[in-house]
Structure 1
Amino acid sequence: MKKRKVAIVGAGPGGLAAAMLLSAQDYTVEVFEKQASLGGRTSRVELGDYRFDRGPTFFLMPSLLEELFNSVGRSLHDYVQLIELDPLYRLQFGETQFSPSRDSKRTKEQIDRLFPGDGDGYLRFMEEEGKKFEKVSPLLRRSFSSPKDYLKKDLLSALPRLNAVGSVYDRLSRYFKDERLKYAFSFQAKYLGMSPWDCPGTFTILSYLEHKYGLYHPIGGVNRICKAMGSVISEFGGEIRLSAGVKKVITSNGRAIGLMLDDGEKVEADHVILNADFATAMNELFEPGILRKYRPEKLARKKYSCSTYMLYMGINRKIELPHHTVLFANDYRRNVQQMMSGERVSEDPSIYIHNPGVTDSTLAPEGKTALYALMPVANLTGKTDWVNEESRIRETMLKRMEQLPELKGISGQIEVEASLTPLGWRDNHGVYRGATFNLAHSLDQMMMLRPHNRFEEVDNCWLVGGGTHPGSGLPTIFESARISTSLLIEQDARQKLYAASIPSSVPSGKGAFRWK
């Protein structure tokens, strides 16, 4: 039987995971990436001898990725060395430092000392949120494409524990009295680009997952996970074409039949998978009139996440700061409100600082530091004029960071530097409105109400990534790839077009080809 061909737009984590799964199932796979490197928002930034992750800086629940590699006859650990972080991070509230770990006894003792009276609430949080995750987890591993999907047993069983009514902040108020501790377990809502006061209470599971399963650093950076998937794709005969932008999805009679590249080349395919930013893809990759549900004016009315302002700095000295540090604004609630309402960047910002050199010596020359700083900011619907205000915002960010004794004087110690503003996310990385975390995860944009894994508007077209179910974040993006490729294979099998099987002749992971 003729091998089926799949063309994938985008070599981000979702596109690479889909390519890995399908190439292992004997599909002919080609991935087209407009950038010169793998990874999309999870790619590497290189400044001289310094190396940084562009976006995500830790990996959560490696068992999911291990399962993905095992499903194609590979071991993740033949490609990537993962280091568990202990503590998880340092959370800084003025002079108070909270450094939790997944050792619940140690964390409770620290809470009892720093936030008296809240230790028992932490234990209740871990117990109750664990039960919730057991119910929610199956919903993240299957598709939602019709109302019938809401009637399945797993959802009906999960409903009493979903906590979909009420916010993350509301939910945490059941466990904790101290506002700082509520913030310590709710800032993870920003992984979805949302405010803890707006994000559905379901997502308290994000902080639970960190405290239960830990955070991991891949040696070389999170971008190494994308390199690992690229290696496996190559081993199975798949092709990844870098610096190969896609201009259009070619359709015929309501079905995707291939791609047109920026240089005019036409690529025929039996299936097209879109891993591009969702709204950007809808606006740019289809001829006018093809789409009805996702026309530009309808996309503009959807809710989008916040954005991020990034500084990547090569510092000419060693910095003794934890691997992850979060500096909370003095008035955190006001800071988040300003960000989500689109006001100009606050003079009292919250900042995340990544100092992986304390764990990984491969990212900077000896005695020096590759320092990454991220400030959540409004997306491009906000009032900030990034062309004229970036210099001021950079100074605000560095001034705030230099309040830490470990970072005093770094403004004068920067050897190389690069920044990424919401404008850069939009113009250089194709992110609609610079909304770094894609579509917001409000109740009206979740499960069946989120763009479907099997694209509703065009047959033989599939979505992976943060813009489809189950949503943003690396673990859920990998799940989107698993869901979409399973649906694709099932459709071909049902139509007797293809019977999938993993070729037995492919070499094992150990000692096989490595992506360079």
Structure 2
Amino acid sequence: MTGKSAAKVAVVGAGPGGLAAAMLLAAKGYEVEVFEKQDTVGGRSGELRLGEYRFDRGATFLMMPHLLEELFTLAGRSLHSYVSMKELNPLYSLHFGDTVFRPSTDQEQTEAEIERLFPGNGAGYRRFMADEDDKFIRVMPLLQRPFQSPADYLKRDVLHALPRLHATDTVYNRLSKYFDDERLRYAFTFQAKYLGMSPWECPGTFTILSYLEHRYGLYHPEGGINKVLEAMADVIREHGGRIRTSSVVNQILVNNHHASGLLLEDGEKVHADYVVLGADFGTAVTRLFEPGLLKKYTPVKMARKRYSCSTAMLYLGVDGAVDLGHHSVHFSGDYRRNVDEITRQGILSADPSIYIHNPSVIDATLAPAGKSSLYVLMPVPNLQAGIDWQQEGPAVREQMMERLEQIPQLAGLSSRVEESKFFSPLDWRDSLDVYNGATFNLAHNLGQMMYLRPHNTFQEVSGVWLVGGGTHPGSGLPTIFESAKISARLLEEHDRAARSRSVAVAGTAGSGVPL
């Protein structure tokens, strides 16, 4: 970008995607300014404080940390200069009544554990890992480039991956080919919840999620995931970028169908050559553009799309230690029914599954000495189900506490709680602008993947690039970071071409040749 001042890029939203894109572009010399509605960075993965207790609001672990390391390297920095990472061993504890399965990245150890708890299934585990090794090699290139034309399906990498995509199968059916014990199938299919989907409906491609955990491990950054996002913000500032928190964007300004900047809530107009849209996709397209401007993403059309489930959350500051691992999943007695109630029937389960994050067991920075920050997540229907959360919220909170009290290690928990906050799908929508309260964004059904997912280069208004879970390649931190890499690269390529055309036109005009 020599010979002309750097282009100005306005980034809407300081979530993982917005911060990652801003970091990459600031490192390239662009004039970057990030606008975030909340008073802290991180979006739905930011930090929550209750008194002296600290929590990750959303994501609670890092998968495939090498992708994050690559992101920092592209920005001329080292992740480990900012954040201390700790690998989790075991990955998590999965509770099926009295049976507790604790897998790890040590395949021999995990196979032995499977044989001990689920005799005869060890060989299936080895086959699964070998088959997914091959799938991963084929699928990963598809997650690192855009799908912006139907012709992208005819490229060599897609044709190479196609025999292993299993896109017309389901996650549950795929795992049934390897394991004959239902509990073990659930242990390798519950990761479909990371996409907010049922494993009985989620495309079979996504068996890769459990493979990635078992192959590459899970990591806890000291201080929580939010520390990674704060590190990104630091890198942006080090490269001369600005981050404006408590700064609400009311509208993306458009001139001749090209984004020209932002209108803030306080009336300020911010000029920008380009806009990176990191806000929740459904909320952004239904709120941030002049009514009637968009044709493909009208409110009516957005309402017809499929969305992930939501989550009811409990953040608890607890007196004393909690005798649970860093991650534990406590499955419903009838897991399939529980999932069906969430994703198909749109009702609250009488017997829910819950996830418990107990980071204080390995990280003393999150709670006062001798105490624990406990995060509890219960998957629930999104707001399309029509549940009245103002009425049902208190009962759901009580149900979650009762469910926790049933866990032997948490008996008597209520008497130890010093701080608490309940967060419902309504809160996800109203406090964090999550469309339909769908915590994991657009669903990943076949009609909303790759080319059929909103493109990284926004189609309806030029000069806009999308990042986050609502664009390709999808939701989840690793894929959100990949969306930022893709979109930042596309923006830079566009800008480079535009500058070349500008230089060529100026040269032609200077030569006296008629234009």
TM-score per shorter chain, which class? over 0.9
In structure 1, the partner of 2:247 is 244
Task: Quote the Cα distance in structure 1 between the aligned partners of 2:378 and 2:387.
Answer: 14
1:307 aligns with 2:310: yes
Does the CA-based 8 Å contact 1:11-1:38 persist in structure 2? yes
In structure 2, the partner of 1:511 is none
In structure 1, the partner of 2:168 is 165
The equivalences for 1:32-51 within 5 A come to 32-51=35-54
1:475 aligns with 2:483: no
Gapped regions of structure 2 (runs ≥ 5)? 503-515
The ranges of structure 1 where at least 4 consecutive aligned residues each deviate by more than 3 angstroms after the TM superposition are: none
Query: Residue 387 of structure 1 is aligned with which of 379, 385, 390?
Result: 390
1:215 aligns with 2:186: no
In structure 2, the partner of 1:353 is 356
Task: Quote the Cα distance in structure 2 between the aligned partners of 1:94 and 1:352.
Answer: 14
Displacement of 1:383 in angstroms is 4.2
Does the CA-based 8 Å contact 2:13-2:37 persist in structure 1? yes
In structure 2, the partner of 1:491 is 494
Task: Quote the Cα distance in structure 2 between the aligned partners of 1:400 and 1:109.
Answer: 31
**CA deviations over 1:415-470 (Å, ceiling 9, x no partner):** 01011100000011101110000000000000000000000000001100000000
Task: Quote the Cα distance in structure 2 between the aligned partners of 1:289 and 1:85.
Answer: 49
In structure 1, the partner of 2:113 is 110
Query: Residue 85 of structure 2 is aligned with which of 68, 82, 85?
Result: 82
The equivalences for 1:49-60 within 5 A come to 49-60=52-63
Displacement of 1:148 in angstroms is 1.3
Task: Quote the Cα distance in structure 2 between the aligned partners of 1:72 and 1:310.
Answer: 34
**CA deviations over 1:190-244 (Å, ceiling 9, x no partner):** 0000000000000000000000000000000000010000010000000000000
In structure 2, the partner of 1:506 is none
In structure 1, the partner of 2:343 is 340
In structure 2, the partner of 1:508 is none
Displacement of 1:497 in angstroms is 5.5
Task: Quote the Cα distance in structure 2 between the aligned partners of 1:383 and 1:423.
Answer: 11
Task: Quote the Cα distance in structure 1 between the aligned partners of 2:259 and 2:489.
Answer: 18
The equivalences for 1:295-444 within 5 A come to 295-444=298-447
In structure 1, the partner of 2:131 is 128
What TM-score results when the alignment is normalised by the length of structure 1?
Answer: 0.96
1:235 aligns with 2:243: no
Task: Quote the Cα distance in structure 2 between the aligned partners of 1:195 and 1:50.
Answer: 33
Task: Quote the Cα distance in structure 2 between the aligned partners of 1:285 and 1:383.
Answer: 25
Please state whether the residue corresponding to 2:75 is helix, strand or coil: coil
Change (3 A) 1:498 1:225: farther
Please state whether the residue corresponding to 1:325 is helix, strand or coil: strand
In structure 1, the partner of 2:64 is 61
- Write 1 or 2 for the structure with the bigger share of helix: 2
Displacement of 1:396 in angstroms is 1.4
Does the CA-based 8 Å contact 1:342-1:381 persist in structure 2? no
In structure 1, the partner of 2:505 is none
Displacement of 1:108 in angstroms is 0.4
Task: Quote the Cα distance in structure 2 between the aligned partners of 1:398 and 1:97.
Answer: 21
Does the CA-based 8 Å contact 1:306-1:339 persist in structure 2? yes
**CA deviations over 1:484-507 (Å, ceiling 9, x no partner):** 0100100111122699xxxxxxxx
Please state whether the residue corresponding to 1:489 is helix, strand or coil: helix
1:73 aligns with 2:81: no
Task: Quote the Cα distance in structure 1 between the aligned partners of 2:293 and 2:216.
Answer: 44
Q: What number of residue pairs does the alignment pair up? A: 499
Please state whether the residue corresponding to 1:288 is helix, strand or coil: coil
In structure 1, the partner of 2:290 is 287
Please state whether the residue corresponding to 1:83 is helix, strand or coil: strand
Displacement of 1:341 in angstroms is 2.1
Does the CA-based 8 Å contact 1:342-1:379 persist in structure 2? no
Query: Residue 456 of structure 1 is aligned with which of 445, 455, 459?
Result: 459
Please state whether the residue corresponding to 1:250 is helix, strand or coil: strand
Displacement of 1:255 in angstroms is 0.4
Does the CA-based 8 Å contact 2:321-2:361 persist in structure 1? no
Please state whether the residue corresponding to 2:70 is helix, strand or coil: helix
Please state whether the residue corresponding to 2:394 is helix, strand or coil: helix
Q: Amino acid of the residue matched to residue 426 of structure 2? A: L
Task: Quote the Cα distance in structure 2 between the aligned partners of 1:262 and 1:304.
Answer: 28
Task: Quote the Cα distance in structure 1 between the aligned partners of 2:379 and 2:5.
Answer: 49
Task: Quote the Cα distance in structure 1 between the aligned partners of 2:226 and 2:26.
Answer: 21
Identity %: 61
Task: Quote the Cα distance in structure 1 between the aligned partners of 2:310 and 2:108.
Answer: 36
Please state whether the residue corresponding to 1:197 is helix, strand or coil: coil
In structure 2, the partner of 1:507 is none
Displacement of 1:471 in angstroms is 0.2
In structure 1, the partner of 2:143 is 140
Please state whether the residue corresponding to 2:387 is helix, strand or coil: coil
Displacement of 1:12 in angstroms is 0.2
Q: Amino acid of the residue matched to residue 8 of structure 2? A: K
In structure 1, the partner of 2:507 is none
Task: Quote the Cα distance in structure 2 between the aligned partners of 1:320 and 1:298.
Answer: 48
